[in-house]
Chain A
Amino acid sequence: MTDRIASLVPQSAMPAGGRVYGDALSLAVLPARTVIALRLATHTPKIVSAMRIAGRSLPETPNTWSGDDPVICRTAPDTWLLLSSLHEAAELLDAARTGCGRKACAITDLSDAHVTLALDGPRAADLLARGCGLDFAATAFGLQACTRTRLAQVPVILRRPTNERFECVVDRSVGQWLFDWMQDAAAGLD
């Protein structure tokens, strides 16, 4: 007989790690991050520009991101995603609730629902082009850009922190499959 089950041990969705393809590209599974979804019923420019979450303003243009930690992505007219490596979910949830005050909103912890994959290097955009129809030219998808799209059929949120780096937030259940796909595509790069 086993003793009473008193505590559960957490386990990450994917082991952190990565693959390097010379100077051209490296792929990485980033350590688990806090992901909070914030949805606002009313999101006029005036309301959005006045809002602060943990002292930071929200990006006012859809499909852009701002901040370093938390990174805040506006992924739809009424939706912002808060990504953080430094803050626990409870902290950010509180900060978001404080920031929203009495506004009608939904604040949801989705930290366990996602994993983040990173692509680094001059060929990162080329790899994405093998599974995504978006234009990743700097003029079309610049440094402030983020978007919800599909990569290799998988719904993802893409963000471009630097010219040669993309971060891909993806549902945890399909993260391993997508990472395998990325490695397969990387092996086929000329």
Chain B
Amino acid sequence: MGYRLEHGGHINRSQPIAIRWNRRTLPAFAGDTIASALLANDIHIVGRGLKFHRPRGILCAGVEESNGLVTLGRGAELEPSARATMIPVREGLEVRTQNAWPGLRFDLGRAFDYTAPLWPAGFYNKTFKWPSWHFYEGWIRRAAGIAQPPRLPDPARYEAVNAQCDLLVVGGGPAGLQAAQIAARAGLSVILAEQDFECGGQLLGGSTLLNDAPVVVWLASVIGELAASRNVTLLTGTTAFGLYDHGHAGLLQRLDLHNATRAIRQRYWRVQAKQTLLATGAIEQPLVFEHNDLPGILLAGAVRQYANRYAVAVGRRVMLATNNDSAYLAALDLTTAGIEVPLLIDSRPEVPQQLAEALRARDVQVSAGTVVLKASGGRALRRVRIGTLDANGAVDRTRDIDCDALGMSGGWAPAVHLYSQARGTLRYDDTRRAFLPRDREAPLLCAGAVAGSTTLGASFADAAQAATRAFERAGLPQEALVRLPSVDEPALSATVGEFRTTAGRSRRQWLDFQHDVTIADVELALREGFTHIELLKRYTTAGMAVDQGKTSNLNTLLTVAELTGRNPADVGTTTHRPPYTPVTLGALAGRQTGPRYAPRRLLPAHAEHESLGAHWWEAGGWMRPACYPRAGETTQRAVQREAAAVRAGVGLFDASPLGKIEVTGADAARFLDRFYINNVLSLETGRVRYGLMQNESGVIIDDGTIARLGAERFVITTTSGGATRIAHWLEEWRQCEWPKLKVFVTPVTSQWATISLAGPRARDLLAKVETDIALDAAAFPHMSVREGRLAGVATRFYRVSFSGELGYEINVAARYGAALWRELLAAGAGFGIVPYGIETLLLLRLEKGYLHVGVDTDGTTAPADTGWGEVAARKKTDFIGKRSLRRADNLRADRLQLVGLAADDVTVLVAGAHLRLAGTTEGSDGWVTSAGVSPALGRPIALAMLRGGRARLGETIAVHDLGRSGTATVVTPAFYDPEGKRLHD
């Protein structure tokens, strides 16, 4: 019977708050968590176990909570599996149970509990074999989930923030606060991360006086000082979930804990810390006995914390069971709060005399060498059977104790997760029955309970030592700048006794509350040979739940050690991996969602395209018009119309994203000649040559044009998506391999707007533009470049074509791009000019069989596979990848080779369709890389990579795509004007 104490606690009784719990409204106070509010309202069942659907109550008071997983909010703002112990109440907060149907008090899933022998660890691996695993998989997966994710897009906002500091302090308990204060006074920049919504840690749950005053006095002073310090960033509600190489830490800050409507819900801090100090405390472990999962059984430290921090009594009559000294402090505080404690039992044969006497003076019986054998009570605890152990550890005599709550303490496991993540090694301490950092100063500084300290005084001393070490390492050799608080606390022994009894049914003794793993499961796994702790973890799933075994890993490995007769140090721990607690995916994405997912590059004439009704494509980071559909026109029809118009008249295309790189210097020609399979040295000034670029392995990486503007001046173009990559590629070779070449590489893509004119009327249209460049075919032939002035501005004027028609690319400074587009479009009205988009251009080039690197080629395609083998073989000078072209594999006749395909059936000839020998239905001889319906030919055409393709011209092959089949004829990859007459007109 939980209830609110009349006095005490760190809650604000003048600020009542109502929350919704399923269909009820519960009163609470500011400062409560959901868990403390539930307990104060006598709600003990908060959820159901994963597998057996047994009723479960709050177990802990902190981050380690295993049972109290609840769903917050609803609709798009639904948050599943929130830990009730970590979420502060706020007005109107909606909390619901999960994993129970039809309801929490009566759950049909409980049938699994009554048939528990049928469902041991790994049952699904053994049972669901006929007719096949997949027959059952869907049902198993549904049953294995513990909550529903939100079905709607998350409307909340998240962000990532980078931060740097001299010292990252993880944990805002006594050790963390003290260390931060010392380090900050010494001048270090400090970030302190506390996962709770308040700093204080175990101080809030205790009753010790600091400097003869309540802890709030010291806390207010230190927190106030830290908050006011310019060199301190104090983050509450913030979990350090991962430590990575080079002092990098991941922190997750919840900004919505007190206010759900904040602009930013969660913030992901990427911290670069010169030093990290762990003050992460220790996590109390449960005792193991029959029915130790009943609601009403909590950790003793949690019982103490609910009384001291939240003024909540978890029961009217609270028994305590322990194997260490800490529960005595809980018993003392409970009696101080007026809660009846009939008995404290201690599994150790010797009890701490001073503490035991203090308890007896308060009418609390203390019984040494006594353990819990069994708890009983249906949906909530009613009775505990205890047994006194004889000298051999066997149960001597038993008796039943009536109680409605039990606080248990099975020792404390230092929270070494981050220490392990940072590759710190652990040592097993037999006295404490726990794993501790082997070195408290490396790789991280450790202070307080995580380093094994059991008293507050020791924690403060640790903090001073660690902080001093931190500022000494930073080169600030100052004396400790803080007088440590005086602590009036009893001496505590570090000795920890047995955590379980061998009596009772092992199938009813829980190790992992969240994944319903029992002692019997461990016994079974060991019988079946899973003796390695990592294998046993995966077989039983112990420690694999949302809580990652914070209350089960230690007990599981101690059980394995005991059952296999090994030392726990030899059994070892499982690997501690990030994240320490679950991280919202949205927080990792931060601002990188929707339109901010990746940068979007706009064309200089973006607004012109927009006004023409462009249908946009995102290509290579650019927003590009795919085509310009007219009213009522589909994009497919628009592309056909635009392509036909280019062939018949003239079209206007924005080619500004074309990668442009200036390569200058005395050695520019030699330098470029080493990158292309084509000859650059022989290129004359004013001329342009197509260039195919490969890497050292002889794989095609890019293509484009090489234009020679002068003896030592070149401009190369790259694919739009390859502009940055190729600039880096050139720089890498220049700086690392050929630093003595006199050459400069300057990317100029955005400096120039590139507007392309294509079609038989292109020259006629250009006659309407003022320019000092002679345009007639003889003076300005195909594959040439001129510099001059056009419409009053400087231009680099190319005569090139990717469409197969007479074509020009006009480069002007980007500021004139929009005007040039507008003026050409207006001037071309009399020639039937159409603007055309990238999708149309790709169809035009498909008709010509021009290569689209990255679409028609992949990471294995060599120049010879695309018909450029002879050019490469002819070239005398060396170039990157030349030697690779002579590899035996590159010379195989059955390599995938670029061919054209012609078919009658458009439904089959699509990119990605597979090619096979006609008449076969197995295997693949290649695939279609580009496809479309040719407006010039009026039939479907495609480019394809076909095994041994060039020797198969004329062959009819089978084409298969997603269950559809058809045939196509292999042809040379040039469908339209194969002689190229139109280019040269």
Contact = CB atoms under 8 A, between A and B. Distances in A.
B748 A2 contact: no
Interface in A116-152: 126, 129-135, 137, 140, 152
B63 interface: no
Interface string B659-671: 0001011100000
B824 interface: yes
Given A2-B827, A152-B591, A171-B601, A10 B819 contact: yes
B164 A135 contact: yes
Contacts of B621: 174
Given A2-B768, A37-B746, A135-B164, A185 B819 contact: no
Contact of A2 (B598, B662, B752, B829): B829
A74 interface: no
Interface in A1-31: 1-2, 4-13
Nearest to A135: B164
Contact of B826 (A2, A7, A173, A188): A2
A106 B591 contact: no
B830 interface: yes
Interface stretch (A47-55, A56-64, A175-183): A175-183
Given A8-B816, A184-B596, A172 B750 contact: yes
Contacts of A44: none
Nearest to B598: A153
Interface stretch (A65-73, A107-115, A159-167): A107-115
Given A188-B157, A188-B263, A7 B792 contact: yes
B939 interface: no
B162 interface: yes
A12, A37, A140, A173 interface centre (most CB from chain B within 10 Å): A173
Nearest to B815: A10
A33 interface: no
Contacts of B163: 129
B818 interface: yes
B901 to A, nearest CB: 37
Nearest to B660: A113
B494 interface: no
B272 interface: yes
A5 B263 contact: no
A133 B272 contact: yes
A109 B600 contact: no
Contact of A11 (B264, B622, B768, B818): B818
Given A7-B791, A113-B814, A173 B603 contact: yes
Given A6-B792, A8-B820, A106-B744, A140 B164 contact: yes
B318 to A, nearest CB: 42
A41 B162 contact: no
B495 interface: no
A33 B605 CA distance: 20
Contacts of B742: 41, 104
Contact of A133 (B162, B591, B746, B791): B162
B662 A177 contact: no
A181 B792 contact: no
Interface in B137-172: 157, 159-164
B362 interface: no
Interface of A: 1-2, 4-13, 32, 37, 39, 41, 104-106, 108-114, 126, 129-135, 137, 140, 152-154, 171-174, 176-178, 180-181, 184-185, 187-188, 190
Interface of B: 157, 159-164, 189, 263-264, 270, 272, 591-592, 595-596, 598-604, 621-622, 662, 664-666, 742, 744, 746, 748-752, 768-770, 791-793, 812-820, 823-824, 826-827, 829-830
